Amino acid sequence: MSRDLSLRKLRYFLAVAKSGRVTQAAIDLNVSQSSITTGVREIEDQVGVALFRRTSRGMLLTREGTRFLQRVNYAFQALDDAFDSLKDTHTSLEGNLRLAMTYTVAGYFLPPLLAQFQRRYPGVTLHLKEVSRPEIEQGLKSGEFDLAIVLTSNIEHHQWLEKMTLAQSRRRLWVASHHELLNKGKLTLKDIAHYPYIMLTVDEADQTALKYWNLEGASPNIMFRTSSVEAVRSMVANGTGITVLSDMVYRPWSLDGKRIEHIDLSSAIPSMEIGLSWPKDRPLSTPAKVFCNLAEMLLG
């Protein structure tokens, strides 16, 4: 069997896996829908298994597709490493970078960016600290931190802070694979208000959620509050309740191997924004500037 999977087709696969929709993947990559469809089908033909399950809600990864996604991600990381190895990583840049971050950023956003920075600038000593947003803002004001990676959508009414948003993560409804809401068609927050709701509390997720619920004139039927994303994932997958969370923390499987589906809601729900923040009145150190530039180049 031929294994000549092109990088182009693999990028099509990654885009569909990320968005769950051929139309969105085509928009993201600026190619035709037919190119995406053909590329994904050719990969499935070559590997001999179905990577996606086609449904009215979009393209859902199969178990084989999830395993293939992990390996493709590893392959692209190895490719990045190969190009990095040809560059002059022994840069003369030295110094310290005191970088603060919140829990969600530390677990789901920072690691690949941090690895790139360390490879390119080995002379910079990193001092990393995970703290809450209020503690980050206090540390930036006092000079304890040079720079922070935060949920910039949580920063409000702080005119003294610069913000550079690097990514946006859409919020969607999470339900178990057998949940009745999968067959309900178009849904709003009001439509799901009476279902048992699992509320994530870490990084002010509960405060943010209640803001957009209140704007809709509805309230979630909260049965459990937790700071653990994995607890939310497992409880949703087992049918205990539903939740609304961002794509950045979404995974299609719980730790015990049960499927989680996500559904677009027609209510006006803001995306989660992730980015960098620092004080306006204090010049960035050279390592901090370099980190900002690299983050913007890779993610902005």
Write the CATH number for 35.
1.10.10.10
At 1 the pLDDT is 39
Domain boundary (37, 54, 85) is at 85
Q: Strands, DSSP E only, in 85-235? A: 95-101, 124-130, 147-150, 161-169, 171-176, 196-200, 221-226
Domain that includes residue 26, residue range: 7-85
Q: Give a yes or no: residue 112 inside a domain.
A: yes
3-state secondary structure of 159: coil
Are 60 and 120 contained in the same domain?
no
Are 184 and 263 contained in the same domain?
yes
CA distances from 181 to 130, 196, 291 (A): 37, 12, 43
Domain boundary (54, 85, 116) is at 85
Are 58 and 78 contained in the same domain?
yes
User: In terms of pTM, does the model score above 0.85?
Assistant: no
Burial class (CB in 10 A: 0-12, 13-18, 19+), 49: middle
Write the CATH number for 182.
3.40.190.10
Are 123 and 214 contained in the same domain?
no
Q: Give a yes or no: residue 2 inside a domain.
A: no
Q: What is the pLDDT of residues 207-230, one digit of tens each?
A: 999 999 999 999 999 999 999 999
> Could you read off the pLDDT tens digit of each residue along the chain, which spans 300 residues?
344 567 888 889 998 998 888 888 887 777 778 889 999 999 998 888 999 988 877 888 888 888 898 888 888 777 776 656 555 545 678 999 999 999 999 988 888 889 889 988 999 999 999 999 999 999 999 999 999 999 998 887 678 899 898 888 889 999 999 999 998 889 999 999 999 999 999 999 999 999 999 999 999 999 999 999 999 999 999 999 999 999 888 888 888 888 899 888 999 899 999 999 999 989 999 999 999 998 888 775
Q: Give a yes or no: residue 1 inside a domain.
A: no
Are 229 and 99 contained in the same domain?
no
